[in-house]
A and B are shown apart, each in its own frame.
Chain A
Amino acid sequence: MAELHAQNLMLAYDDTCIIPNLSVTIPDGQITVLVGANGCGKSTLLRGISRLLKPKRGSVVLDGADIWKMPTKQLAKQLGILPQGPTAPEGLTVHELVAQGRYPHQSWLQQWSREDEHVTQEALAITNLTDFADRPVDTLSGGQRQRAWIAMTLAQDSDTILLDEPTTFLDLAYQIDVLDLLHDLNVARGKTIVMVLHDLNHACRYADNLIALRDGHIVAQGYPSDIVTADMVYAVFGIACTIIPDPITNTPLVIPSSKAMNSKSLTNSFNPQPSWVAIRG
């Protein structure tokens, strides 16, 4: 059990308060996805619970211990964090990057052990990068690169992995690839995953626990099918929508409405059924 809990958290950059007072519990062994509009504080919250941003007030507790009072390497063995859009130094190979994940397990005396190598190889295998081990990270495709970074956090061997927008800047195919990988890590290896996602429909598909934020407050939290309603989407994103079941996963699929397109469809009202519906039907 590695429960992550934030109590009365206040997070701010310099004088700008992003999250005034927030308490949240991240359920163990689940995929938690943070969603919300730009600037709602979802990335800030992720930074706050991963010790990248020191809270002005409140505490973050992992397994009963305040993360700010733990030795840094001790925390890193229990909680990995992949920041948004990391860039590897030029020429760094995939193996070298993934090996960096062993940093918290090493010390001045214990530099590189057989176990370090074993875990690194395993992380490469899980992410399908074994054949790319000696390739420089900057020569890989966007999706492979992101997998390499995820392999690094895997090599860290922590029960909990936090990821800030792991799919941003990736093509659709790579987005699904990365999300499927994270899903497998959760199901097959019991990793607790916490991530920020932009795409609400991806969030609904992959989340066991969805946290929707607006202006630094939690608007709703729970299983997507239980909490995603048109009212909730309006409260979080300020947009009207229709919600239908996702034809593949049966999770909520949010179809945002649009003023421009609505009026366009009105001018096409002679043919209210678009042709593709007929074809699919």
Chain B
Amino acid sequence: MTTHAQSISQNKTRILGSRFWLLPGVFILSGILVACVLWSITLGAADIAPQTVFDAIIQSNNMDNLQLDSQTRFQYLVIQTVRFPRVLIGIVVGMALAVAGAIMQGLTRNPLADSGILGINAGASFAVVLAVFVLGTPSLSTYAYFAFVGAGVSAVLVYMLGSMGRGGATPLRLTLAGVILTAFLSSFTTAILINDQQALDKIRFWTAGSLAGRDMSIFIPVSPYVAVGLIGALLISRQITTISLGDDVAKGLGQNTAWIKGVAAIIVVLLAGGAVALAGPIGFVGLVVPHIARFIAGADYRWIIPYAMLIGGILLTVADVLARIVIRPQEVPVGLMMALCGAPFFIWLARMRVRR
């Protein structure tokens, strides 16, 4: 009798196993994310009290009916048109890059996989710069779609380059192919920008990866694609866990691996392309965050993906705050900030974690 009762109670907790705290963890991280957002919005050329920030966001659809003095009205407008869009874009970009990195790491069983290292960010930004150069009109939102095309083409190129020859796409080959493509495309991007002063001025900051000057006009056309990518990532998370056991094991378990890989590749292109369109090529988020998520949540992608999402949002929000305050009143591109923290982590990872 006792064993029966035990096995039933064991069955109830079994689905989460020893990781019963994973669900509360999601709420805690969501709380931290909200706190970071408020912190980010209060900081700026003029600091604004958290209560005002909160009110401004709550009342954003109700501005005409409010009785406000001119200073508060100005603060509300700054929050609604500048600071809130910026932090929103930062969260979405952080989530997109982190989840894209998590999927790539699971799919290729490569702890170094990241849309920056595998050349997808470089492809997307090259496509945008090329479009600005050839087609002229220097409006980034018009060229957001080129980012998706560039991301897609470079993803295919890296995979082809990396799987040439016997043995297929090993982690090392894919990484090398990505690094080569990144170097190749970045030099072209630089060549174009050096020869076109006008384009350079418009997107110089963007090519380093920055959230400065982003507003809803870029967010609204791009965010649906990123949203589809994020939802898709959550939906295929169980399949990603299975394929992370290896191709042959996944096939043996009855998974149609070609189909899953195709869907996952489309999701990665939507996420990485969208992130580049929104904020330029920001590296290391997709590399670092999945490792933190795995450290907390284990090896099951049904938990890794939501954790990566939240941690990615938090990391980029915090990095953007730091980017704005380190050399106040000027700011550094957030991409630079990420490289400063990410590069040492990359070296540590390459030394400690890469087997073979």
Residues of A within 8 A of B (CB): 14, 50-52, 72-77, 80-83, 86-93, 95-97, 100-101, 103-104, 106, 111-112, 114, 117, 121, 133-134, 136, 153, 156
Contact = CB atoms under 8 A, between A and B. Distances in A.
Given A52-B251, A156-B253, A87 B15 contact: no
Nearest to B294: A91
B249 interface: yes
Nearest to B298: A91
Contacts of B17: 93, 95-96, 133-134
A83 B252 CA distance: 8
B251 A89 contact: no
Interface stretch (B43-51, B221-229, B236-244, B305-313): B236-244
A80 B252 CA distance: 6
Contacts of A76: 252-254
B254 A81 contact: no
Nearest to A78: B254
Nearest to B106: A89
15 contacts: A14-B166, A52-B248, A72-B255, A76-B254, A80-B252, A81-B251, A86-B245, A88-B245, A89-B109, A90-B294, A95-B14, A96-B241, A100-B245, A100-B249, A153-B252
Contact of B299 (A74, A75, A91, A134): A91
B242 A103 contact: yes
B9 interface: no
Nearest to A153: B252
Contacts of B137: none
Nearest to B297: A91
B244 A89 contact: yes
B246 interface: yes
B7 interface: yes
A100 B241 contact: yes
A170 B166 CA distance: 27
B18 interface: yes
A151 to B, nearest CB: 13
A193 B346 CA distance: 44
Contact of A82 (B242, B252, B256): B252
A119 to B, nearest CB: 12
Contacts of A95: 14, 17
Interface residues of B, number: 28
B298 A96 contact: yes
Contacts of A51: 251
A18 to B, nearest CB: 14
Contacts of B255: 72, 103
B331 interface: no
Interface in B315-356: 353
A52 B99 CA distance: 29
A19 B110 CA distance: 32
A81 B255 CA distance: 12
Central interface residue in B238, B253, B256, by most chain A CB within 10 Å:
B253
Nearest to B300: A96
Contacts of A96: 17, 241, 298-300
A157 B7 CA distance: 21
For the complex of A and B, list the 7 residue pairs with the smallest distance between their C-beta atoms, beginning with the closest. A76-B254, A104-B254, A92-B299, A81-B252, A73-B254, A83-B248, A103-B253
A135 B284 CA distance: 30
Nearest to B248: A83
B294 A134 contact: no
B11 interface: yes
A72 B254 contact: yes
Contacts of B241: 96, 100
A121 B245 contact: no
A134 B18 contact: yes
A81 B248 contact: yes
Contacts of A80: 252
Contacts of B300: 92, 96
A93 B298 contact: yes
A72 B252 CA distance: 9
B249 A86 contact: yes
Given A89-B245, A91-B299, A134-B18, A121 B7 contact: yes
Nearest to A50: B252
Contacts of A50: 252
A45 B226 CA distance: 44
A89 to B, nearest CB: 5
Nearest to A112: B15
A103 B254 contact: yes
B246 A87 contact: yes
